[in-house]
A = this chain, B = another copy of it.
């Protein structure tokens, strides 16, 4: 079963908002055994919507549309769908009750423009959007399905999770798709490819392998498409992969290294603190994005100035003077300092020159020191990450997470 996704919105097309909806929707569809044929971003434009919808209905069994359902004048999706399906707008009582409930809860008065949110094409099935005022609309057309959802990410995600995916599965007979992620760190994509070439060549035809490089690491993804009754063969292929590349494999079944850190620390009952200079709070932010992080993450210090390194982390003035803020000695004292003062099992520290300015001959932009302190002692690592600021921050985070995972696993 093929699905195409059309994300409507000038803000997406001109690049002011990154389109996260496509990836969120794709992940959910793939996990439910459907095939995503293409995802398209177009303008809030009558002709673009009609043309893309016509074409996607030709090549796919279902077309999922997001966006253009707001109360403001630039949003035209509902009007265009009415025209496409030769229908007209009618007020939907359930949708109206929902709009009224939302306005009442916020203590706002219901204006005529907001009341129009409850009007939907007569030919569609209205699916209630409990998180917002724009209803979800389900159309059936010559055995195919068109679904229109709001573009607000959390509203769309809730509709997909609670209604749309299950209705699609029921409407079309779908098989299973199995995905397996393997997180690899410490080897570049092409060297990894050389290392596991024979294993890759021997993979069965039902399985696809993808190399997904992230900042400073590679995620391998195995994808298998099978019938509902058929068992997966992925697990039987892993021992030979480990035999070739085991020393670079950090973990499985996670999307990212912080997710793996979260799982391992949650399971171990050990605690963590951070002392960040060049990563500026990004490590703490990635950790605390997970619900439940408070069980193991006590806190962190963003020591962006030398003053804070000294006064809060207890890095010695002599160390800073003799070796500088970006040095093994300093990063070591940062990790030890935060581990001691926050009284945790593990501590991560980073210090470096994220750039693009601030480099010297000795310590060019991209020079980073990382330390991980734990019950088994402290490990430090020097990296040279190049001159892209945000990339250096991302790579430093991933290097630190990989060091921490290996320290926990020891």
Q: Which residues of A contact B (CB under 8 A)?
A: 10-20, 22-28, 30, 36-43, 48, 52, 70-74, 108, 111, 113-114, 133, 152, 154, 179, 181, 188-191, 193-194, 200, 208-214, 219, 221, 223, 255, 274, 276, 279-285, 287-289, 291-294, 297-305, 307-308, 311-312, 341-343, 354-358, 388-391, 393
- Report if A391-B154 is in contact (Cβ < 8 Å); known contacts: A11-B210, A72-B193, A114-B190: yes
CB-based nearest B residue for A308:
B299
Q: Are A189 and B38 in contact (CB under 8 A)?
A: no
9 A-B pairs with least C-beta separation: A280-B288, A281-B284, A15-B26, A281-B281, A15-B23, A15-B27, A299-B308, A300-B302, A281-B285
**Chain B minimum-CB-distance residue to A313:** B299
A185 CA to B304 CA, complexed, in Å: 29
What copy number does this chain have within its complex? 2
Minimum distance in angstroms from A302 CB to a CB of chain B: 4
A159 to chain B, nearest CB (A): 14
CB distance from A337 to the nearest CB of B (A): 11
Contact indicator A72/B221 (Cβ below 8 Å): no
Partner of A208, one of B74, B285, B304, B389: B74
Contact B27 A23 (CB under 8 A): no
> Does B299 lie within 8 Å of A304, measured CB to CB?
yes
Q: List 17 A-B contacts (CB under 8 A).
A: A14-B27, A14-B223, A16-B221, A18-B18, A18-B19, A18-B23, A37-B43, A38-B43, A39-B40, A74-B209, A288-B304, A291-B356, A291-B357, A291-B389, A292-B357, A298-B305, A298-B307
Contact A20 B23 (CB under 8 A): no
Report Cα–Cα, A219/B17, bound state, in Å: 11
- Looking at the assembled complex, report how far the CB atom of A373 sits from the nearest CB atom of chain B, in whole angstroms: 17
- CB pair A210 B152 closer than 8 Å: no
Query: Are A38 and B40 CB-contacts (below 8 A) given A72-B189, A288-B280, A299-B302?
Result: yes
B25 in contact with A190 (CB, 8 Å):
no
- Partner of A341 from B111, B188, B312 at Cβ < 8 Å: B312
- Which of chain B's residues has its CB closest to A109's CB? B191
With contacts A39-B40, A289-B280, A389-B291 taken as known, whether A15 is within 8 angstroms of B24 at the C-beta atoms is yes
Residue of B nearest to A51 (CB): B59
Closest to A209 in B: B74
User: A282 near B281 (CB under 8 angstroms)?
Assistant: yes
Residues in B neighbouring A287, C-beta threshold 8 A: 280-281
Complex CA distance for A291 and B354, rounded to whole angstroms = 8
Cβ contact of A281, chosen from B72, B302, B305, cutoff 8 A: B302
Shortest C-beta distance, A294 to chain B (Å), equals: 6
CB distance from A184 to the nearest CB of B (A): 13
Chain B minimum-CB-distance residue to A48: B38
* A190 CB contact (under 8 Å) in B113, B210, B291, B311: B113
The minimal Cβ–Cβ distance linking A299 to chain B, given in whole angstroms, is 4
Contact of A211 among B18, B70, B288, B305 (CB under 8 A): B70
Quote the shortest CB–CB distance from A152 to chain B (angstroms): 7
Give the nearest-CB partner of A298 in chain B: B305
Contact between B16 and A342, CB atoms less than 8 A apart: no
- Alpha-carbon separation in the docked complex, A311 to B200 (Å): 53
